[in-house]
Structure 1
Amino acid sequence: MDYSMVAALVSFFWAILYLFKFLPTSKLSTNDRIPPGPKPLPIIGNLHQLGESPHRVLAKLARKYGPLMSLKFGSITTIVVSSSTVAKEMFQKHDLSLANRKVPAAVKANGHDQFSVAWLPMCPKWRTLRKISAVHSLSNQRLDASQSLR
């Protein structure tokens, strides 16, 4: 392959990358709904900014971006709350949306997410299973009976 062909291929791939990266795909993308934060690096995100004393770095970032900010740790987007009043408001008004967790694909593959108290979202089925486990498995009599196993 000669250099002009390589240059044409590189230019083509850069143009495709530009189209996918910088042109907006929709009016309400997920980045519009997350709080502001520092710009992450492509693979490691904001991990390089934490340093040896992450609590001080997070306090400095909170002064710049406010009490609610987003950071990327690798490919995981994390929302950091650095104000007690904002945290109180979030856990009082939006507690149901914050109570659920991401279910790993390995758990979903075997169907364990449908019958496990640990992976079910807060719903009537979760409440029923939690009551059953509290009454039958985690009662004082059952815990005392299984003392020798621990």
Structure 2
Amino acid sequence: MGTLRTLMRAHALAIPFENLEIVLGRPVLLGVADLEAKMVRARRGGYCYEHVLLFGAVLERLGFGVTGLSARVRMGTGAVRSATHALLLAEPADDERPWLCDVGFGRGQLAPVPLADGAETTGERWVRDRRSSVG
């Protein structure tokens, strides 16, 4: 579980949210090699699908069970919206509990949240300002 927590924090603090390709009408390349080139080597960010695919590939290579999930963003409204956000369900080999990992949501989540009835998260598990968090 410590590995998942460490990887997720490092990802959230090092790779920002960015949706420039979409805004500029450019194609979004979702191959792992393309994501690594953009987000790791070129030190750019990505939007949720890019984050999830890159982070999920890392987790899979380390032996985690990984399931992609869709979610509805309800921030700012009580209305039911389309499921347009991507996140992961990670299952570490050393922990039988599944964990929600949302590495691609704006000021991202810093730590996984257990997928369990009544589980909660607090503001300290979220990036407040990347400019002051990245060193």
Q: Under a length normalisation based on structure 2, what TM-score does the superposition of the two structures give? A: 0.27
- Point out the structure with the larger helix share: 1
Q: Larger Rg: 1 or 2? A: 1
Bigger RCO (CA 8 Å, 6+ sep) = 2
Q: Under a length normalisation based on structure 1, what TM-score does the superposition of the two structures give? A: 0.25
